[in-house]
Amino acid sequence: MALTPRQIGDWLRAHPTEVVARTRQPYDNGRLGYPRTMTGIDLRSPAFADHGHLPRRHAGNGDNVSPPLSWSGIPREASELALLCESVDAPPGGRPLWLVTGIDPRRTGLEAGTGHPGSHVHRNGYGDNGWGGPIASPGEPHRYVFRLYALPAPVSIPHDVTADAAREVLDDQSVGHGTLVGRC
């Protein structure tokens, strides 16, 4: 029996320390040939708290401006960063709200609404390049997960990719990641 996104979210809220502990376990992804330690990246936004409300300015039916993000704890072995934002309440196979690869690992964040110099901005779920903010709807707020991945080598992801396929590639190659959740 497959779990619904709501059941997964309930489990994650009930077991937060298990999730953090598992992200720091040694692993060997088979490409590097030796075990490495997965590190936790601290991903934050001055616009909203983790699991807090994403301001209307950042919503697709608001100003549609990407939120400012900051991070720390990037592993030394990272040669690039990738940022993925997706709805965990949407059906599988959906497009990302935001996917950026090739971010310089020396960066410590992105300003609101800024471009991504030297990075590759992918197509979002609305068919545009860059940020495509969530559309706020009445009823239960949806959860939007921002994941910043530290990658040991440049990653190749097609320009028009599903959020599931991008996450699979990034999870497989990551040497560390951080997560931030916004609701809208």
Which of 14-23, 57-66, 142-151 has the least mean pLDDT? 14-23
Instruction: Please report, to the nearest 10 degrees, the dihedral formed by the alpha carbons of residues 24, 81, 49, 124 taken in order.
Output: -120
Q: Where are the domains of the chain?
A: 38-183
* pLDDT for the residue 24: 33
In the chain, pLDDT over 70 holds for what percent of residues?
77
This prediction has a pTM of 0.77
Give the separation between CA 50 and CA 44, rounded to whole angstroms. Answer: 7
Q: Classify domain 38-183 at the CATH superfamily level.
A: PEBP-like (3.90.280.10)
Residue for token digits 């969530």? 134
pLDDT at 172 > cutoff 90: yes
Q: Which residues pair with 178 in a beta bridge?
A: 148
119-157 pLDDT per residue, tens:
888 998 888 889 999 987 788 888 999 999 999 999 999
Strands (E), the chain: 26-27, 36-37, 39-40, 42-44, 52-53, 69-72, 80-87, 98-103, 109-110, 120-121, 143-151, 176-183
